Chains A and B, each alone.
Chain A
Amino acid sequence: MLFPTFDFGVFFVVVFLVSWMLRDHLDLHKAFLLGVSYFFYGYWDWRFLSLLFVSSTINYTAGVLLTSLTLDRHKKWVVGVSVALNLAILGFFKYYGFFIISLANLLTSIGLERDLPLLDVILPIGISFFTFQGISYVIDVYRGDVQPVKRPIDLYLYISFFPQLVAGPIVRAAHFLPQLDVRPVLNRAMLTFGFGLILLGLFKKMIIASYLATEIVDDVFAVPSAYSSLDLFVAAHAFVVQVYCDFSGYSDIAIGVAALLGYRFKKNFDRPLSATTLQELWQRWHISLTSWLRDYLYRPLKGGKRGQGRMYRNLILTMTIAGLWHGAAWTFVIWGALQGIILVIERVLKGAIRSLERNGHAVLTSFIPSHPAVGWFITINLFAITGVFFRAPDMATVHDYYAGLLQFSFETEKFTPFIALLIGGVIAAQFVRTETLVHLDRRVQALRPVTLGLLIGTGLLAMEMLGPRGVAPFIYFQF
């Protein structure tokens, strides 16, 4: 069930009314939310409900075992086995085909051609998200950051809660589980926050992401050799804006829907396209994933605690895994590794500049442009140009794309004023001051419900009128 559909609208109205009717009966309230979450997931393909159930059961059992065991050695075994089981499920459904094909290619290249068992495995929607949530629960219980759930329903609901189930944000147990212990509350601020985010998310997805996809990105990435360098350059930037609007749009709707049901999720995007370094961009982009990787991969690898060389290696490794998380293809792996390499280069350069300044060579560093606009320009262009790996379906397309970019031809077929308005508008919006938004929110909170309803209804109507017909699935569904 896609968020921007009539089906979801009907579903949500029913869920909203019944869940608030049940708010004084907490167990019943949670059972209802669990039931509708499974319905939401099964609406796409009911066969994978068992997978969701099994994944939750593994993590629940691990939590129970961690409470009953006393020796740290045994606890580590429990954590290891449950993480391995989670990753095995993810690996089979998401990476089986990729690894088998890669292995077959490798064997062929060294003259050991074999018939390997190829299976047509369907990727269950949202598997990367609920697997990571399950892993974070088990590790947090082991670390003592969360108490194991007393009632199984809490964990099953945490893993499957429908707003975040299929495309995140990756909600942490430490943040969400305590919310299940008390009756949910709703106030005026949450109400306007929730509706505001839902409208914003729909606008990002239905208008900006949809038009950028249909008017430039899909065509240019399908046959890059048919377009000029200018079109290729613009399409790479259009894709960054498209994927930002698509994914942050989904996160906005998920956070907004959860808020209207009385639950709070942390923000998942914080104006990443205004970042002045790639490090800053990654601190603002898909925050729930990057912080997950930081806490459960980068830091356990000892991050930067064992010398700079190890830190750089760990950074590249973490970003490469982040790339692989996004998709089972070499293009994603290379994209991730490139992000890691650029992050390392950034740190090396920063270290070199600091070292020059410390050693009294400030004259040399004064020639380096330090205005934030320069950093922003370099960051957004690097992110867009390396993003070709992320969007291109295969390496041949990547090759054609970069070859086309280097032709320096400037006639344009796809770069219209409409596309410029979409890209420019989204980038300009990244620089709107927080105070302005807070002021606007206060004004909206003071409105009467009917006026607010008319405003929201007009917004939805405008989107229905302006958006292209039909709704494409969210990009992050495939992850």
Chain B
Amino acid sequence: MASRHKMYRRPGRATRRDEPGPDQQAETSRSVRDTSIIMVTVMLLLLVFNSSGLQRWARDLPGNSLSDVLVHYTDSWHGLMQQIGTAAPKETVQNALAEFRQYSWSEIAGFDSTANAETIGNREGDGIAADE
């Protein structure tokens, strides 16, 4: 195929791959088992500490008999987790972050960056202040 395209540098040719040997196959089996253990651990952790997320997911499902059953069970599960107290850390963390997000520079550094500046809405032409 002697054509003009040979002038261009090639992006990389395909290289043949060899079938995995017995060692690689054994390692694959081990890794698949390990990954399954990891996934089960993650699911259990989320079931216990993120029961509200599960409840929200079930409630967002399209309404049918199966989703009704799921909503019932996830409601009960979330209620149980609230009684035990595993749902509490989520609220605590969310509240702490919400508070941090509201921090201004003045609260952090002890000065008010907007004290002497014209306030937004009072600039000529933006019309927000005129409504007040």
Contacts and interface: CB of A to CB of B under 8 A. Distances in A.
Nearest to A147: B14
Contact of A295 (B1, B8, B41): B8
A410 to B, nearest CB: 7
Interface stretch (A125-133, A185-193, A245-253): A185-193
Contacts of A7: 57
A12 B129 CA distance: 52
Interface residues of B, number: 66
A260 B24 CA distance: 15
Nearest to A195: B38
Interface string B94-126: 100100111111001000011001111101011
Interface in A335-374: none
B39 A185 contact: no
| A interface: dominant SS | helix
A412 to B, nearest CB: 6
A183 to B, nearest CB: 6
20 contacts: A6-B57, A17-B36, A20-B28, A75-B1, A172-B11, A181-B17, A190-B31, A226-B120, A299-B9, A305-B7, A449-B33, A449-B41, A450-B37, A453-B37, A453-B45, A456-B41, A457-B45, A457-B46, A465-B89, A465-B90
B15 interface: yes
Contacts, number: 178
A72 interface: yes
B19 interface: yes
Interface of A: 6-7, 13, 16-17, 20, 23, 72, 75-76, 140, 142-147, 172-175, 177-179, 181-188, 190-191, 195, 211, 215, 225-228, 260, 262, 291, 295, 299-300, 305, 409-413, 416-418, 449-450, 452-454, 456-458, 460-462, 464-466
Interface of B: 1-3, 5, 7-20, 24-25, 27-28, 31-46, 49-50, 53-54, 57, 89-90, 93-94, 97, 100-105, 108, 113-114, 117-121, 123, 125-126, 128
Given A182-B19, A299-B8, A411 B117 contact: yes
Nearest to A456: B42
A188 B104 contact: no
Task: List the 6 shortest-distance A-B pairs measured between CB atoms, nearest first.
Answer: A453-B41, A457-B45, A411-B117, A449-B37, A453-B38, A457-B42
B120 A411 contact: yes
Contact of A417 (B15, B24, B46, B105): B105
A18 to B, nearest CB: 12
